[in-house]
Amino acid sequence: MTQSELFTAPAGRIGTDESGKGDYFGPLVIAGFYLEDAQEPVLRELGVRDSKTLSDKRCRNIAETLRAGYSHSVVAVGPEKYNELYAKMRNLNKLLAWGHARVIENLLEQVPAVRAVTDQFGDAKFVLNALLKKGRTIELVQRPRAEEDAAVAAASILARAEFLKRLELLGRDWGLDLPKGAGPPVDQAAAAFVKRHGAEALAKVAKTHFKTTERALRAV
């Protein structure tokens, strides 16, 4: 899109959301989705809603359609990089803000958005401070249950689909099933992983600041 086209195209909004934040195994994925107001009914017809209400298969199918037809950006932070960034920031909300700011900035290079909508996490200043010059020219709206907004719901689907793909590939690479979420099945998988690959390898597949790490090491 040329600069002149950017200024004559219908203005819309960017929605952002993340996946993997509460999952011990796998990456943290943040996605951004650009939506013109006139396109909202089309998204609803596609079945776009909060990805947590969709099956994995349905989520992946809708994500494929969204990737093919709409402007979007996805930033995936693999476990090793995640652990490195977390060790520096010591604050998950700051890490999330960095990711949300990056997808907003990426999309602003492509689209004429006038505002961005994100879920509310931590202090709103985290995202504002992480935005660069271009990102600070738009209205940033942070609110609870932001997935009710179609643009954020679409972003949540893109983020979750990417998370699922990367988690599956990670499991194949290491020869173990890596479950989603946290809890007893994840604890068992983490202990099995340590027995097979050693404690140091956990940083390559998991978010090691979770208490799951301590339980896995005690179980071995």
Q: Which domains does the chain have, with CATH numbers?
A: 3-167 (3.30.420.10)
Residue by residue, pLDDT tens for the chain (220 residues) are 444 444 444 578 999 999 999 999 999 999 999 999 889 999 999 999 999 999 999 999 999 999 999 999 999 999 999 999 999 888 888 888 889 989 999 999 889 888 899 987 766 677 777 776 666 778 888 888 888 999 999 999 999 999 999 999 999 999 999 999 999 999 999 999 999 999 999 999 999 999 999 999 998 7
pLDDT of 137 reads 74
Nearest to 103 by CA among 165, 163, 16, 13: 16
pLDDT of residue 157: 97
Q: What is the pLDDT of residue 120?
A: 79
- Mean pLDDT estimate for the chain: 89
Q: Could you tell me how many helices (H) and strands (E) the chain has, helices first?
A: 9, 5
What's the DSSP call for residue 10?
Answer: P
Determine the pLDDT at residue 135: 62
Q: What's the pLDDT score for residue 5?
A: 43
Q: What is the pLDDT of residue 3?
A: 43
CB 117 within 8 A of CB 89: no
pLDDT at 7: 42
- What global pTM score does this model have? 0.90
Residues in a beta bridge with 12: 36
Q: Which two tokens stand for residue 150?
A: 């179609």
State the maximum Cα–Cα separation within the chain, in Å, rounded to a whole number: 62
